[in-house]
Chains A and B, each alone.
Chain A
């Protein structure tokens, strides 16, 4: 995996003004470099980067860890659920909360629409 893909200036800006884990996740997922990182990395690589304690107390370290978590949410749900353990993420204030936000945001909601069902989220 190549973390140099990440658009750190923009991700730092988003991270700095994030008020909630769901805001952080939504806006990180919209940043194209996060999707690019997801496409070019395996779920395991992303998870181990997100849970790596090194540099955790630097702004770039924190931003990169959350970017890897956000990238992980582009992966297959079973892969994410297999990897994700609260203990691994204990060092990140919003680590587990970001994954919980992903679970909520990815929960499909169906509404009756015309003659069939339409997925709205």
Chain B
């Protein structure tokens, strides 16, 4: 068993790099309680009929792992996301320009920490009050298709990105 640098549990990180070859810090998760597995997606019922669940709970990857690492692992740090945005040459797009496939990042109140990420599936239109639908992964739970503001994360500080 290979332990981490200070004797902590084994690293379960995998080789993941930006397009410029810089390593992306990551860790695969396996912690999910029997209750969470048993409850499955029932806990999301409070978000109403506007959401659609598209996968089972899975602790291996988180939202950033879904958005940027092919569902293989968890990426935690805002610095790592910024590294990806920079190296992969993502550019911010305005709400008016948003298209399906664009990445959406949810920031905390400070505007610095990236709390959540997902992928746009429908463009914002007047009919949807200019609110796009996105799919994203909620914690260790499932991937969910939801209106931008129909989720547990702060929708008032979001930014959209695209690789041009």
Contact = CB atoms under 8 A, between A and B. Distances in A.
A93 B139 contact: no
Interface of A: 12-13, 15-23, 26, 57-62, 86-87, 89-94, 96-97
B122 to A, nearest CB: 22
Given A59-B35, A62-B33, A19 B43 contact: no
A19 B7 contact: no
B115 A61 contact: no
B115 A20 contact: yes
B63 A19 contact: yes
A60 B36 CA distance: 10
A86 B34 contact: no
A58 B30 CA distance: 14
B73 interface: no
Given A86-B6, A86-B7, A19 B137 contact: yes
B4 A58 contact: no
- Report whether over half of chain A's contact residues are helix, strand or loop; otherwise say mixed: helix
A13 B33 CA distance: 14
Contacts of A12: 43
- Report whether over half of chain B's contact residues are helix, strand or loop; otherwise say mixed: loop
Interface residues of B, number: 33
A101 to B, nearest CB: 8
Contacts of A93: 29-31, 59
B36 to A, nearest CB: 6
A17 B139 contact: yes
A86 B9 CA distance: 8
B133 interface: no
Nearest to A55: B33
A96 B34 contact: no
Given A16-B141, A20-B76, A21-B76, A90 B9 contact: yes
Contact of A60 (B29, B35, B139): B35
A14 B5 CA distance: 30
A18 B116 CA distance: 9
A16 B64 CA distance: 16
A18 B8 contact: no
B35 to A, nearest CB: 4
B53 to A, nearest CB: 13
A81 to B, nearest CB: 13
B4 A17 contact: no
Contacts of B58: none
25 contacts: A13-B43, A16-B36, A16-B138, A16-B140, A17-B139, A17-B153, A18-B139, A19-B64, A19-B115, A20-B64, A20-B74, A20-B76, A20-B77, A20-B115, A21-B76, A22-B76, A23-B116, A26-B113, A57-B33, A58-B34, A59-B36, A87-B7, A92-B31, A97-B27, A97-B76
